[in-house]
Structure 1
Amino acid sequence: MGRNTRKRRTPLAAKVVAGAAALAVGGGGLVWANFHASAHEEGPAHHRTRSAAAQVATIDCPDVGQQLSGVPDRARGEVDGELATMDSQITEAYQRLATTRRAQAGDPRFVQNTILGPLKDRRKAIIDRIQLEIDRAGGRADDNLDQLAGCQGRPAEQPQNGDGQDGGGQDGDQNQDDNGNGAAGPVADDFIDINDVQPNSRASENGLAANGDGGSTGTFTTDCGVNENNLFNSDNLIAAPGVDNGAHHVHDYVGNQDNDAFSSDEDLANADTSCRNQGDRSTYYWPVLRLQDGTEEFDANELGGGAEGNVGRILKPAQAELKFVGNQQGDVVAMPKFLRIITGDAKSFTNGDANANSSWSCTGFEDRQVTDKYPLCPEGSQVVRTSNFQSCWDGQNIDSANHRDHMAFVQEDGGCPNGFQAIPQLQVRLVYDIPTPTVENGQVRNPYAVDSFPEQLHKPITDHNDFINVMDEDLMNEVVDCINSGEDCQ
Structure 2
Amino acid sequence: MNARLRGVIGAASVALALALIGSVVAYQPAGAGPLVNHDGVNHDNHPAAPDAHQAAAIEGQAGIQAASEFRANCRASHRSGNDPIIYPNQTGVSHVHEFFGNRSTNASSTYTSLKAAGTTCDPVVDLSAYWVPTLYKNGQPVAPESVTVYYQGIHDMQRAVAHPPNLRYVVGNSRATSPDQNPSARWSCTTQSPSSRDFMNCPAGTKLETYLDFPTCWNGRDLDSANHKDHIVFWAGSCPSTHPVVLPRLEFLITYPVNGGGLSLGGTVNGVNVTNAPGYTYHGDFINAWDQPELERRVRDCVNAGRICGTNGNPI
TM range (shorter): 0.7 to 0.9
- For 1:122-137, list aligned pairs within 5 A: none
How far did 1:209 drift?
4.9
User: Measured at CA, do residues 268 and 279 of structure 1 come closer, stay the same or move farther in structure 2, by a change above 3 Å?
Assistant: same
- For 1:207-286, list aligned pairs within 5 A: 207=59, 208-209=61-62, 212=65, 217-225=67-75, 227=76, 229=77, 231-247=78-94, 249-286=95-132
Question: Higher helix share goes to which structure?
Answer: 1
User: Measured at CA, do residues 211 and 379 of structure 1 come closer, stay the same or move farther in structure 2, by a change above 3 Å?
Assistant: closer
How far did 1:244 drift?
2.0
Of 231, 235, 247, the residue aligned with 1:423 is 247
Give the distance between the partners of 2:92 and 2:183, measured in 1 at CA. 23
- The 3-state SS of whatever aligns with 1:476 is helix
Match of 2:48 in 1: none
Question: Higher strand share goes to which structure?
Answer: 2
Give the distance between the partners of 2:27 and 2:199, measured in 1 at CA. 22
Instruction: Kindly provide the CA deviation profile for residues 198-234 of structure 1, in whole angstroms up to 9, marking residues without a partner as x.
Output: xxxxx95415358658xxx211011222x1x4x1111
Deviates more, 1:267-276 or 1:399-408: 267-276
Instruction: Kindly provide the CA deviation profile for residues 132-190 of structure 1, in whole angstroms up to 9, marking residues without a partner as x.
Output: xxxxxxxxxxxxxxxxxxxxxxxxxxxxxxxxxxxxxxxxxxxxxxxxxxxxxxxxxxx
Instruction: Kindly provide the CA deviation profile for residues 25-75 of structure 1, in whole angstroms up to 9, marking residues without a partner as x.
Output: xxxxxxxxxxxx95269xxxxxxxxxxxxxx9535356479xxxxxxxxxx
How far did 1:460 drift?
1.3
How far did 1:252 drift?
1.1
Equivalent pair of 2:73/2:149 in contact (CA under 8 Å): yes
Equivalent pair of 1:327/1:422 in contact (CA under 8 Å): no
- The 3-state SS of whatever aligns with 2:295 is helix
How far did 1:239 drift?
0.9
Using the size of structure 2 for normalisation, the TM-score is 0.78
Give the distance between the partners of 2:65 and 2:155, measured in 1 at CA. 5
Q: In the alignment, is residue 326 of structure 1 matched against residue 149 of structure 2? A: no
Give the distance between the partners of 1:60 and 1:454, measured in 2 at CA. 7
Give the distance between the partners of 1:329 and 1:39, measured in 2 at CA. 39
How far did 1:387 drift?
0.2
What residue ranges of structure 1 are gaps of 5+ in the alignment?
1-36, 42-55, 66-85, 94-118, 131-202, 293-311, 438-446
Match of 2:258 in 1: 434
Of 209, 216, 227, the residue aligned with 1:384 is 209
Give the distance between the partners of 1:417 and 1:468, measured in 2 at CA. 23
Give the distance between the partners of 2:136 and 2:22, measured in 1 at CA. 23
Give the distance between the partners of 1:209 and 1:460, measured in 2 at CA. 17
Match of 2:21 in 1: 39
Q: What number of residue pairs does the alignment pair up?
A: 275
- The 3-state SS of whatever aligns with 1:401 is coil
User: Measured at CA, do residues 329 and 354 of structure 1 come closer, stay the same or move farther in structure 2, by a change above 3 Å?
Assistant: farther
Equivalent pair of 1:356/1:462 in contact (CA under 8 Å): no
Equivalent pair of 1:322/1:426 in contact (CA under 8 Å): yes
Give the distance between the partners of 2:80 and 2:96, measured in 1 at CA. 5
What residue ranges of structure 2 are gaps of 5+ in the alignment?
1-18, 46-54, 312-316
Report 1 or 2 for greater relative contact order, CA contacts < 8 Å, sequence distance ≥ 6. Answer: 2
- For 1:340-379, list aligned pairs within 5 A: 340-349=168-177, 353-366=180-193, 368-371=194-197, 373-379=198-204
Give the distance between the partners of 1:210 and 1:483, measured in 2 at CA. 18
How far did 1:280 drift?
0.7
- For 1:153-164, list aligned pairs within 5 A: none
User: Measured at CA, do residues 345 and 319 of structure 1 come closer, stay the same or move farther in structure 2, by a change above 3 Å?
Assistant: same
Give the distance between the partners of 1:361 and 1:282, measured in 2 at CA. 26
Give the distance between the partners of 1:315 and 1:274, measured in 2 at CA. 17
- The 3-state SS of whatever aligns with 1:254 is strand
The structure with the larger Rg is 1
Aligned AA (1:223): N
Match of 1:403 in 2: 228
Match of 2:277 in 1: 458
- The 3-state SS of whatever aligns with 1:60 is coil
Runs (4+) of structure 1 exceeding 6 A deviation are none
- The 3-state SS of whatever aligns with 2:122 is coil
- The 3-state SS of whatever aligns with 1:266 is helix
Give the distance between the partners of 1:61 and 1:463, measured in 2 at CA. 15
Aligned AA (2:204): E
How far did 1:343 drift?
0.8
Percent of pairs identical after alignment?
A: 26
Aligned AA (2:69): T
Equivalent pair of 1:212/1:327 in contact (CA under 8 Å): yes
- The 3-state SS of whatever aligns with 1:58 is coil
Using the size of structure 1 for normalisation, the TM-score is 0.51
Give the distance between the partners of 1:210 and 1:468, measured in 2 at CA. 25
Give the distance between the partners of 1:209 and 1:475, measured in 2 at CA. 28
